[in-house]
A and B are shown apart, each in its own frame.
Chain A
């Protein structure tokens, strides 16, 4: 595999492979010296056209723990401000000799365009409303490490599905691993068409909350909302927020998840974020190991190489 652009690129088999490899990198991350020499001499550049804390830091930490070199590109201090095009920027960076580009951009499809221009591996770290595959992988890993397996689990994704690349990637990944996925959102925050999505839809969180294995809360993305889709944030919280009352309705063994950054007091109350069923910080720490697995699969494993001559025992 050359690029990781969407969850579909991996398929169920590929997701399982990443999970298995992540186990090894969790072990590496737990050591006194959490570093292996696997990607020595490789260079990973992060190209972020959109703000990010956890994804960018997580990728850079992952690359460093694999002994790769990292370069960071931030739009605000670059020649993009002088009007340099995306293509020229990417080709300039590639000319410096890089092995992988981690891309985040506000427009859907940008990572595919970049993949068609460069020889380096391209990893999609979020494109517009479209896909965020490494988030889906770390979500799967977090659920798998608590529940053993995603098969047959009832997972609700609650909130702003329309603007959420996390939701699109998660739906694909959860369904590929055999979970039953439920979208819970007001009609204004669902995409116009859900044709072909392997999901069930409901508009009432209270009806379903008692039967959930996992409740996955999405961030209300005010920066992407161009029209009045919600009457008010207070009303949203009353109907769809994970409040202390709803927390009581949730099963004892259920998991509370959120991709971050959280709007406390909107989609999730502070009590819920700090509840013992919350695995939100585990999501972040698993993110590093999952991204190590992705970088290693793309740059180091040689998984697509043909078998060499026998030997080397």
Chain B
């Protein structure tokens, strides 16, 4: 949930109140495996593919995809089974700096050269698309990828920019003011309860 979690969680915001579970742990596992296969299929192997998780929600998901790609095995994926894995914090590239609290959650770590790679950006939830916009700008400062693809566990709609995901775990229609929480053991839709002033 990157910086957004800081804005909605105490002490600055309210408390997440879960309402409906839309995926359980097994659903998540199956979605990760399927997305991993789709990545292999789309790119005809993973020879020039790199995974970059967006801080912080995309990072554990990128690790799970990385492990899933390894178990798919070398026979289907060309010469390499261990795809490069990085993490990216987009705080300094956001377009709402100065409008709301924006602080990085972790140091960006991209220990490989992006130039000529197919980068798969990984995030937990795709919503307005502004985080992905910031991530595309940030990637530019690290190199020139051959292509950038987007993998998300949940696409909840309400896009404000012309951005679409390449790989989706599940499409979940939501209200704009709802929150989606992606954890290791499942995905829950809920609301933020704000303490009465």
Contact = CB atoms under 8 A, between A and B. Distances in A.
B43 interface: no
Contacts of B91: 24, 38
A27 interface: yes
A311 B102 contact: no
Given A28-B92, A306-B12, A308-B7, A300 B97 contact: yes
Interface of B is mostly: loop
A21 interface: yes
A300 to B, nearest CB: 5
A194 interface: no
Contacts of B1: 313
A31 B141 contact: yes
Contacts of A228: none
B4 A24 contact: no
Contacts, number: 91
Nearest to A38: B92
B78 interface: no
B107 A310 contact: no
A302 B7 CA distance: 11
Contacts of B92: 24, 28, 36-38, 66, 296, 300
Given A33-B141, A36-B92, A313-B128, A303 B108 contact: no
B12 A36 contact: no
Contact of A313 (B99, B180, B191): B180
Question: Which of A21, A26, A312 has most chain B Cβ within 10 Å?
Answer: A312
Interface in A264-289: none
Interface of B: 1, 4, 7-8, 12-13, 89, 91-93, 96-104, 106-109, 125-128, 130-131, 137, 141-142, 156, 158, 176-180, 191-192
Among all A-B residue pairs, the 8 with the closest Cβ atoms: A313-B127, A36-B92, A38-B92, A307-B13, A307-B12, A302-B101, A24-B104, A308-B100
